[in-house]
Structure 1
Amino acid sequence: MAKYNISVDKKWQKKWEDTNLYKFDEDSSKEKLYVLEMFSYPSGSKLHAGHWFNYGPVDSWARLKRMQGYNVFQPMGFDAFGLPAENFAIKTGIHPKDSTVKNIKTMEEQLKSMGAMFNWDHEVITSDPEYYKWTQWLFLKLFEKDLAYRKKAPVNWCPSCNTVLANEQVVDGVCERCETEVTKKELTQWFLKITDYADELLENIDTLDWPEKTKSMQKHWIGKSTGAEVTFKVKDSDLSFGVFTTRADTLFGVSYVVLAPENPLVDVLTLDKYKDEVESYKLQAKKQSEIERQSITRDKTGVFSGSYAINPINGREVPIWIGDYVLATYGTGAVMAVPAHDERDFSFATKYNLPIERVIDGGKDLPYTDHGTMINSGEFNGLTTKEGKDAIVSKLESLNLGSLKTNYRLRDWLISRQRYWGAPIPIVHCEHCGTVAVPEEQLPVILPYDVEFTPDGKSPLAKSEDFINTTCPKCGGAAKREADTLDTFVCSSWYYLRYADSNNSEKAFDIDKINKILPVDKYVGGPEHACMHLLYARFITKALRDMGYLNFDEPFKSLTHQGLILGPDGHKMSKSKGNTISPDDYISEYGSDVFRMYLMFGFSYVEGGAWSDDGLKSIARFVERMERVIDSAREAIEDNTEDKTTMDKAEKELNYWRHFAIKNVTTDSEILQFNTAIARIMELTTALSKYMNESRKNLSLLKDTLTDFIKLIAPFTPHFAEEQWNLLYKIKDSDIDYSVFNQKWPKLDEKALIKDEIEIAIQVNGKIKTRINIASGLSEDLIKEAALNDSDITSSIEGKSIVKVIVIKGRLVNIVVK
């Protein structure tokens, strides 16, 4: 097998490239199909088995669709900016640009050795100035529409990476990249106003063919809540603050309020005797991520400020606490606490001995969190919770102490990074003109090569005098460039658009071309991007639509998450565990087709599983078997000496398995259920092998079956199938239409699946005694007669009385005797 794969793979890869077989025809009359895998990050020097699992099977699906008549667009590129390359540079001294360029070259060769249909003439590399010029253009367009803005805010700070992290990049309180504990820092940062699209991002998601779990994660992350904002005045002060609540009906049960540690009122309201404790508490809160602070299972803590607020509905004084489970970035940065009707508040009140008062009648135990009838609520007693909400909000509105409001968990997208290896933000800061956008004709703002990027908490570009010092585009005076770079998620938020017009040097993309090729029809990648890349891409698509650049609402119509290939030990692959699987050695020994087919047969595509060398070797043996069967059938066809024209039992059996395979390989592959599709190919291989033992053969049927067989295996073993196709049809090197991938997908004949005979089991008192073949469609009486007249059965029931005969058509006959 090794010799076959090395020679045949290279032969057909060169032929496909030389003849531009997979070049996308923008003017084709065929229906377009945009197939896209999430592009890889060239932080490592080589692709691993996980990349292969993402790309290989999807390429097989795209090949199937091509043979079904679609005009397939399947580009590839690299998400090349980001922390890993910069951190690698800090460790080794190798410039991130140099290591990235080298890694991309290696990975391009690996991807080409896969034999995929990637349209390399549409390649994008996000660190190329010809790409990030248009990322900067995108930022400017958002800035023009007031969707990009700059403000001072508490942000997640990784002290190891020395950069800001978005909420989504903090996992269990640590940096997702380096696992260092994240703290909080006040910085002036750039944000994108994704919250302007919160409602549409929420409403549209149910229209998408996406995994339900991913849709649910986005809904939760956006977190829409409809309720009221209630104003609490501070006792003996002119100060006041608002709290957002979805349960205004419980307002009479408020026994304390809680401010976020970052809330500016904390310093004002904390009395002197409590200041040391509050300051210490604030420092502790800075070390925790927002996600960690919101955890349901985490023990809630707080400290008393010494001040009191006035409940607006009953005038009651309630203590003002500071608690880290309240976030300054969510709602108003303050919450009202009703311990009798909220589990979190109940736990907190119990811990700190605060009053717990029931105001909703229902259930015996507290906290009671369901709906019911209002009690201990003055004039509102007896109202249902629904009636009470409306009545209390109406009362508060009349007092100018409350109003209806909709709130969201979603925060604006923080895009500033204090790192070097990223796209410069195209902004100039001028003492006279303020914040000024770089004119479009001056793009790209080039990322300089010679920069000291050892992290010290400041933006590396600020240290580059040549870069940072410039002139103001408005007044021509001295000015400073923005020193932060863009979050790499900005680069990947629009790459699917650039692919379609990647060589356009005049604009980011041609509107007509984009509207013709987009949106993406099938998108495949990891589930870890549910609340980052996928959400950001949806936002950018909608923003560009509203600017008039697109005529569609969503970037990805259908989404699939591939599973994870684990190491042979069943654990996630990592260099430290020594369980990583590199495809290159296996491909050198077995060829890319065997490697691809093993990934598709050995695992459920959406689940993955543990790697097995034995499984790979088993597939290698199967491909060898396929080759022997095909060779044998082809030789019989070429020999042409024992031709037969009738369709007898053996022919009908072969034709059945041929069309059974066509039906199931098609339907299973359509839903990316490749393992069962390949199982059907294995069955057809067995049927072909069995037919080759016939002394006389219907060569016309054999050639038709072999033709369909090669077409069926083509998506799964593209090099092998191309070779077999050319051998079967004796195609010359000069033939233009040489490829099996230019052929039509096999056509199903449903009639061939109706068997003339079927096999049924015959039981006596529930135990199988024999099996017989009967004509399909036989009546129940004739089936009984055939069963009772079988010699094995007559001997089994001799001398016994038949109680009854049960017929289950198509499966069995059970004869009950005594």
Structure 2
Amino acid sequence: MTTSPTNPTSNRYDFKTIEDKWQKNWIDTERYKATEDPDKEKYYVLEMFPYPSGRIHMGHVRNYSIGDVVARYKRMRGYNVLHPMGWDAFGLPAENAAQKNNSHPAAWTYSNIDYMRNQLKQLGLSYDWGREIATCNSKYFKWEQLIFQEMYKKGIVYQKTTTVNWCNSCQTVLANEQVIEGLCWRCDQAIKPRKMNGWFFKITDYAEELLADLDKLTGWPEKVVTMQRNWIGKSTGLNCDFAVDGLDATISIFTTRPDTIFGVTFMSIAAEHPLVDTLIAGNDNEQEIRDFIDQILTEKQQQGPDDELVKKGIFTGKYCINPYNGDKVPVYIANFVLMDYGTGAVMAVPAHDERDFEFAKVYGLPITPVVIPEGVELVSDTMENASTVPGTLVNSGSFNGMESEVAKTAIIAHAEANNFGKAHVTYRLRDWGISRQRYWGAPIPMIHCDSCGVQPVPVEQLPVVLPDDADATGATCKPLHQRESFIATTCPACGKAARRETDTMDTFVESSWYYVRYACPRFTDAPIDKEKTSYWLPVDQYIGGVEHAILHLLYSRFFVKVLRDLGYLDIDEPFTNLLTQGMVIKDGAKMSKSKGNVVDPHDLVSEYGADTVRLFSLFAAPPEKDLEWNAQGVEGCSRFLNRVYRFISARPELLDAGPVPAELSENGRSLHRKMHQTIKRVTENIENNFHFNTAISAGMELFNTMTSLTDSEKGEQCEPAVVREALQSLLILLSPMVPHFSAEMWEQLGNRNSIEDQAWPKFDAAAAEEEMLTIVIQVQGKVRSRLQVPADIEDEELKAMALADPNVLRFLEGKTVKKTIVVKKKLVNIVA
């Protein structure tokens, strides 16, 4: 039997009816529609938008509930709030899932969006759904394509050859995620490395600014700032050229330890180094070297991020010459040297680098100590590991006797004076490769012409849309480079036959600027309406998982700087404040389908209602900590809401309680005081650190005080007007967490205006002052008594009362009081 939400005889409130009622009301009245208002201070709160996988999980519930509390709270504080939602809808998972479900990626994605949108609405999240975007919609990626072209014209986009995963059976490039233990995820055939042209964003042009501006991000967690700083990885050192013996070629290296350069005993280069073919051409074992290169490139493609690399190399047959001492050192191709980091070549100093030391031991290469730490003796034959700390130089020619830091400067100056090297700053950060060879992605809007080279698609022809094959299933949804009808086009410059670019963009591109488009989602004249973005941006509070601490957040920061330089934005950083919420844990592990420990939010909402689910996700742990799943906790939150419901339903006299009288009973004063203390606690917990768990706890304490001071069985009485005032404050304080329940209970109290139109309660410090205090009395640090005293008692009077207390006197007998310490409003400690 379904009960009325206002039925006073029911023990449980009818959450289904209440939640349906208020969700319809919010939609019908466009309650959360955001418009620019120059007379109001704006607040833009945003949670990282989801990938439409089909169903939301408890991690979504937690993330979006946190953001919704902030949005609702800020509205009550008088801010003009923007709180949008959309879908990160392109990418590999859609293709995988579409194939698995015998569906087309578009059909699969949009059906998931419809389902998940309904789930989010059932949670009562206060989104402006009129601003909803899906990145797979051509009205969105049209502007992304235009931005790409503008970046290309400014030299921020370029093409270069890179090594990719190639499946010969499927005749396609695979993303790293599509390679399973070295095999193609589609056909289980072995993949091979292959060189191919790809598109790159020149993020390295912004490396120094990205690094320097981290100092501005005072509202970000320090751990995230540190992770980005390390990822950018600024290094200062020496760029130096080693001539190849017998060839008109040089190998360039970069080192942060020029003080060790006299200890170079071999050179390591990457398998993809552009000099490899020159170095090995004509060698007796050229084929052996090429086979080795194929082997280590294949292993690199198959290697996981946490796999320990077994160091391997092969001699090229050539030597290079150390420009400082003329030593000829062998050149090795080594599997641990990365072509996309530094110059693709590493001067190897085994005495002072652990990786080089291990390699030298395996291949019997010399080890020459050149930096001796104080109090240490280094002998090459007896060294068990490398010495990596600074010291005094030896075996270093004219630099002998110098300390490391002094020697670094002198050695760089020597290279500059002799024109074979110079001081250089480098970054660990690499340019962003955005090419993806698949169907379900935003097409890169470029054309290849044999006569004219690379040409942008004319602006009037944007967007370049995906081929329409709505009848195709995932299994027959070919990547773009296998679709001749898509590829064939004409050159916009000369009109001859030409080829479309068949790469699609990395989905990180879409998520790097979506928050900008939320400010003007229906603008049709340009990618960005500068007037609107100038009002709303930057995002005031961004919320999402720490797993996005580097790539997504770094790319977003890069994109804002690019859009600024293109004239679209006036800001330098996208997100003023960042909250990285913890994971939802069950049975000691993150909830995931693979672990079989998932709790479906749909089942919880059906059993307990959205407000209970929201309340639990906020109450169980501070937002930055992991939340341990606890079914009893959900039940406990449900019981609390039902207690409040029954309390209100059982007191019709509160409807006509009238104003709060000037003179209150003792119980009335106690409840009024507790109410203001709770307002202070809840406000501070939300405002200062988003500790919703302690804010909710404070609200529960207020309600417990209310019930104890109005317990008719104990004869407790409290003025109805004070009870109503406290209840209304409690409902407002809880409304960001449990919006449907609070709105309904507010209405049950006879209020005709909406609770969402109420201002946040004001704290009255005088009303919150305690009339009487319980003071703990300690003797020698141990509690011996307690005193009830007026809140405004002076310290000297309090000392006198403590020293006269009979329980205290028993423990002072035969002793001399040395000092009496008063901790204001808490305790007195007597030292005897």
Q: With structure 2 as the length reference, what TM-score do the two structures score?
A: 0.90
- Counting only pairs closer than 5 Å after superposition, residues 158-197 of structure 1 correspond to structure 2 as 184-197=193-206
Q: Is contact 1:162–1:455 with CA below 8 Å preserved after alignment?
A: no
- From the superposition, tell whether residues 636 and 365 of structure 1 become closer, same or farther in structure 2 (CA, over 3 Å): farther
For residues 786 and 395 of structure 2, what CA distance do their matches in structure 1 show?
Answer: 78
1:31 aligns with 2:41: yes
Deviations 1:106-153, CA, capped at 9 Å, x for gaps: 111111111111000001011111111112112111112121122222
For residues 715 and 162 of structure 1, what CA distance do their matches in structure 2 show?
Answer: 53
1:742 aligns with 2:757: yes
- From the superposition, tell whether residues 434 and 297 of structure 1 become closer, same or farther in structure 2 (CA, over 3 Å): closer
- Counting only pairs closer than 5 Å after superposition, residues 59-458 of structure 1 correspond to structure 2 as 59-155=68-164, 184-208=193-217, 209-270=219-280, 272-289=283-300, 298-363=309-374, 364=376, 367-450=386-469
- From the superposition, tell whether residues 251 and 791 of structure 1 become closer, same or farther in structure 2 (CA, over 3 Å): closer
User: Equivalent residue for 1:9?
Assistant: 19
Q: Is contact 2:13–2:642 with CA below 8 Å preserved after alignment?
A: no
For residues 814 and 707 of structure 1, what CA distance do their matches in structure 2 show?
Answer: 41
Q: Is contact 2:242–2:320 with CA below 8 Å preserved after alignment?
A: yes
- From the superposition, tell whether residues 129 and 106 of structure 1 become closer, same or farther in structure 2 (CA, over 3 Å): same
Deviations 1:204-224, CA, capped at 9 Å, x for gaps: 112112122222222222222
Q: Is contact 1:173–1:288 with CA below 8 Å preserved after alignment?
A: no
User: Equivalent residue for 2:523?
Assistant: 504
Shift of 1:272: 2.9
Query: Unmatched 5+ residue regions in structure 1?
Result: 732-737
1:592 aligns with 2:615: no
For residues 20 and 162 of structure 1, what CA distance do their matches in structure 2 show?
Answer: 51
SS at match of 1:134: helix
Shift of 1:697: 2.7
- From the superposition, tell whether residues 311 and 300 of structure 1 become closer, same or farther in structure 2 (CA, over 3 Å): same
For residues 787 and 162 of structure 1, what CA distance do their matches in structure 2 show?
Answer: 88
User: Equivalent residue for 2:686?
Assistant: 669
For residues 106 and 433 of structure 2, what CA distance do their matches in structure 1 show?
Answer: 25
Q: Is contact 2:104–2:473 with CA below 8 Å preserved after alignment?
A: no
Q: Is contact 2:123–2:610 with CA below 8 Å preserved after alignment?
A: yes
- From the superposition, tell whether residues 730 and 642 of structure 1 become closer, same or farther in structure 2 (CA, over 3 Å): closer
Q: Is contact 2:141–2:463 with CA below 8 Å preserved after alignment?
A: yes
Q: Could you tell which deviates more after superposition, 79-88 or 504-513?
A: 504-513
For residues 96 and 560 of structure 2, what CA distance do their matches in structure 1 show?
Answer: 31
User: Equivalent residue for 2:676?
Assistant: 659
For residues 757 and 17 of structure 1, what CA distance do their matches in structure 2 show?
Answer: 49
1:646 aligns with 2:655: no
User: Equivalent residue for 2:706?
Assistant: 688
Q: Is contact 2:13–2:645 with CA below 8 Å preserved after alignment?
A: no
Paired amino acid for 1:782: E
SS at match of 1:410: coil
User: Equivalent residue for 1:734?
Assistant: none
Shift of 1:808: 3.8
Deviations 1:322-348, CA, capped at 9 Å, x for gaps: 211111112211111122222222232
1:724 aligns with 2:745: yes
1:488 aligns with 2:507: yes
Q: Is contact 1:49–1:583 with CA below 8 Å preserved after alignment?
A: yes
Q: Could you tell which deviates more after superposition, 363-372 or 129-138?
A: 363-372
SS at match of 2:343: coil
Q: Could you tell which deviates more after superposition, 588-597 or 659-668?
A: 659-668
Q: Could you tell which deviates more after superposition, 218-227 or 61-70?
A: 218-227
Shift of 1:595: 0.4
1:772 aligns with 2:787: yes
User: Equivalent residue for 1:578?
Assistant: 596
- Counting only pairs closer than 5 Å after superposition, residues 583-622 of structure 1 correspond to structure 2 as 583-622=601-640
Q: Could you tell which deviates more after superposition, 431-440 or 113-122?
A: 431-440
SS at match of 1:449: coil
For residues 754 and 782 of structure 2, what CA distance do their matches in structure 1 show?
Answer: 53
SS at match of 2:90: coil
- From the superposition, tell whether residues 370 and 293 of structure 1 become closer, same or farther in structure 2 (CA, over 3 Å): farther
User: Equivalent residue for 2:730?
Assistant: 709
For residues 173 and 411 of structure 1, what CA distance do their matches in structure 2 show?
Answer: 26
Match of 1:754 among 769, 773, 776: 769
- From the superposition, tell whether residues 498 and 324 of structure 1 become closer, same or farther in structure 2 (CA, over 3 Å): same
Q: Is contact 2:437–2:481 with CA below 8 Å preserved after alignment?
A: no
Shift of 1:718: 0.5
Paired amino acid for 1:519: P
Q: Is contact 1:153–1:189 with CA below 8 Å preserved after alignment?
A: yes
Q: Could you tell which deviates more after superposition, 380-389 or 775-784?
A: 775-784
For residues 170 and 230 of structure 1, what CA distance do their matches in structure 2 show?
Answer: 39
How many residues align structurally? 804
Q: Could you tell which deviates more after superposition, 136-145 or 356-365?
A: 356-365
> How large is the Cα RMSD of the aligned pairs?
3.1
- From the superposition, tell whether residues 55 and 106 of structure 1 become closer, same or farther in structure 2 (CA, over 3 Å): same
Deviations 1:67-114, CA, capped at 9 Å, x for gaps: 111100001011111111111222232111111111111111111111
For residues 754 and 171 of structure 1, what CA distance do their matches in structure 2 show?
Answer: 66
For residues 160 and 587 of structure 1, what CA distance do their matches in structure 2 show?
Answer: 47
For residues 356 and 86 of structure 1, what CA distance do their matches in structure 2 show?
Answer: 52
User: Equivalent residue for 1:801?
Assistant: 814
Q: Is contact 1:461–1:468 with CA below 8 Å preserved after alignment?
A: yes
For residues 278 and 111 of structure 2, what CA distance do their matches in structure 1 show?
Answer: 56
For residues 132 and 163 of structure 1, what CA distance do their matches in structure 2 show?
Answer: 24
SS at match of 1:138: helix
- From the superposition, tell whether residues 110 and 375 of structure 1 become closer, same or farther in structure 2 (CA, over 3 Å): same
Using the aligned pairs only, state the percent identity. 44
Paired amino acid for 2:44: Y
SS at match of 1:335: strand
Deviations 1:470-523, CA, capped at 9 Å, x for gaps: 222222222221112111111111111111111122322211111111111111
Q: Is contact 1:182–1:289 with CA below 8 Å preserved after alignment?
A: no
Q: Is contact 2:220–2:577 with CA below 8 Å preserved after alignment?
A: yes
- From the superposition, tell whether residues 281 and 15 of structure 1 become closer, same or farther in structure 2 (CA, over 3 Å): same
- From the superposition, tell whether residues 186 and 134 of structure 1 become closer, same or farther in structure 2 (CA, over 3 Å): same
Paired amino acid for 1:760: I
User: Equivalent residue for 2:382?
Assistant: none
Paired amino acid for 2:465: I
Deviations 1:162-184, CA, capped at 9 Å, x for gaps: 876789x7999989999x99863
Q: Is contact 2:103–2:473 with CA below 8 Å preserved after alignment?
A: no
Shift of 1:648: 4.9
- From the superposition, tell whether residues 377 and 100 of structure 1 become closer, same or farther in structure 2 (CA, over 3 Å): same
For residues 103 and 234 of structure 1, what CA distance do their matches in structure 2 show?
Answer: 59
User: Equivalent residue for 1:678?
Assistant: 696
Q: Could you tell which deviates more after superposition, 320-329 or 264-273?
A: 264-273
Shift of 1:752: 3.0
